[in-house]
Amino acid sequence: MQAEYQLTLPTVNPDQAEPLAMARMEEALNKLGFVPNMYGVMANSPGLLDTYIHGYNRFRELSGFTPAEQEVVLLAVSRENGCTYCVAAHSFIADKMSGVPVEVTNAIRDGAPIPDARLAALHDFTRILVTKRGLPSQADVQAFLAAGYSERQILEIVLAIAVKTLSNYANHLFHTPLDGVFAARAWDD
């Protein structure tokens, strides 16, 4: 999904970025071997890029979710927000780094039933928090808790929603081109 209006700010190169954005872009280059296009557009607002990366890293490091569960949450938010860039990127990460079964990733991408009850409960609750704007019902919460998750993990999903909303909305506004590394998992809502 892309905004009707496309921001005309240029993609920022790491060597031309403001110091804060430059530091985050250099970290990405060292960690990933490239600077994702999303970072280049978000670098137009160094605070946006820094906040995104800081929150993303905290979710990855402190959420208590496994890497596969983290990917389910991030994919659910990105799909619900219609972010073609993030669905493709997180599908790639799910396949290559997080150990998500491809049937689960494809089900999330396609809006189909997820063939793993625990991951389905996580996905469904994440979607509920997005669509109900943080106002789940008692039954919604009880179903999530009954799947073996905790109340604290509800807050971790809130963190993931905040972080992905930053990137999803920026990508909508910039019409961010997909990086070649993610092209095999391109997605169109």
Residue 175 within a domain: yes
- Alpha-carbon distance of 126 to 74, in angstroms, equals 9
Kindly report, residue by residue over 65-75, the tens digit of the pLDDT: 999 999 999 99
The DSSP-derived string for 60-112 is HHHS---HHHHHHHHHHHHHHTT-HHHHHHHHHHIIIII---HHHHHHHHHTP
- Alpha-carbon distance of 4 to 173, in angstroms, equals 8
Please, which pLDDT band fits residue 1 given cuts at 50, 70 and 90?
confident
Of 93, 128, 91, the residue nearest 109 (C-alpha): 91
Kindly report, residue by residue over 4-26, the tens digit of the pLDDT: 999 999 999 999 999 999 999 99
In this structure, the chain runs to a length of: 189
Sign of CA dihedral 159, 163, 164, 169: positive
Residue 5 within a domain: no
The position carrying tokens 């993303």 is 56
Residue 101 within a domain: yes
- Alpha-carbon distance of 67 to 90, in angstroms, equals 11
Residue 104 within a domain: yes
Residue 145 within a domain: yes
Number of domains the chain is built from: 1
Q: Is 156 within 8 Å of 59 (Cβ atoms)?
A: yes
Residue 94 within a domain: yes
Domain that holds residue 115: 14-185
For residue 181, what is the domain's CATH number? Answer: 1.20.1290.10
Please, which pLDDT band fits residue 189 given cuts at 50, 70 and 90?
confident
The fraction of the chain above a pLDDT of 90, given in percent, is 98
The pLDDT, as a whole number, for residue 85 is 98
Encoded amino acid at 56, one letter: Y
Helix, strand, coil percentages (3-state) for the chain, rounded to 5, are 70, 0, 30
Kindly report, residue by residue over 24-42, the tens digit of the pLDDT: 999 999 999 999 999 999 9
Residue 2 within a domain: no
